[in-house]
């Protein structure tokens, strides 16, 4: 494999990265690794993880105001409002939108199909070029006799 194949692989990887965006856990890791140790921050476990709760508002995209004020919006860009049964305290919880997940899946599938078509055309062109070279070689051998 020469530098052309390396360039093609790097370009393909870069295009996929642009189509699909950053991995979902990347934003969470950046937020959690803010230079402070987890022991120094006071931790309160949300009721959505520890106790019973009722979903007051289904998973929706964060508004511009919520992105700036609600910490959970920064993880996925979607939140749902829950009400804790133990304390009657309303909280926001980060969630994943099924419509967004479906859109990402179809983008990925389209990218893979596009790449499959592109590489199939590349194989056909290469095969035709090799066939022409083989025919030319045979023709030259016959002419030399």
Interval 107-118 mean pLDDT: 97
Listed residue (50, 95, 47) closest to 70, CA to CA: 95
Structure tokens, 1: 């494999």
Dump pLDDT digits (tens) for 8-38.
766 776 666 666 655 554 444 444 444 443 3
Task: Report the SS3 class of residue 56.
Answer: strand
Residue with more model confidence, 49 or 24? 49
Query: Does CATH number 1.10.1370.40 belong to domain 50-96?
Result: no
- The domain limits of the chain are 50-96, 110-145
In terms of phi and psi (left: phi > 0; alpha: psi -120 to 50; beta: otherwise), the region of 6 is: alpha
- Is 50 exceeded by the pLDDT of residue 99? yes
- Is 50 exceeded by the pLDDT of residue 70? yes
């Amino acid at each position: 494999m020469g530098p052309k194949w390396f360039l093609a692989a790097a370009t393909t990887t870069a295009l996929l990265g642009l189509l699909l965006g950053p991995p979902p856990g990347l934003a969470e890791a950046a937020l959690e690794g803010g230079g402070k140790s987890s022991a120094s921050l006071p931790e309160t476990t949300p009721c959505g993880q520890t106790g019973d709760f009722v979903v007051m508002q289904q998973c929706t995209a964060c508004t511009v105001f919520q992105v700036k004020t609600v910490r959970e919006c920064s993880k996925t860009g979607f939140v749902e409002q829950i009400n804790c049964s133990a304390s009657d305290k309303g909280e926001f919880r980060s969630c994943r939108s099924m419509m967004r997940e479906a859109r990402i899946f179809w983008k990925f599938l389209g990218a893979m199909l596009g790449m499959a078509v592109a590489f199939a055309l590349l194989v056909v062109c290469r095969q035709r070029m090799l066939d022409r070279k083989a025919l030319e070689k045979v023709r030259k051998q016959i002419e030399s006799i």
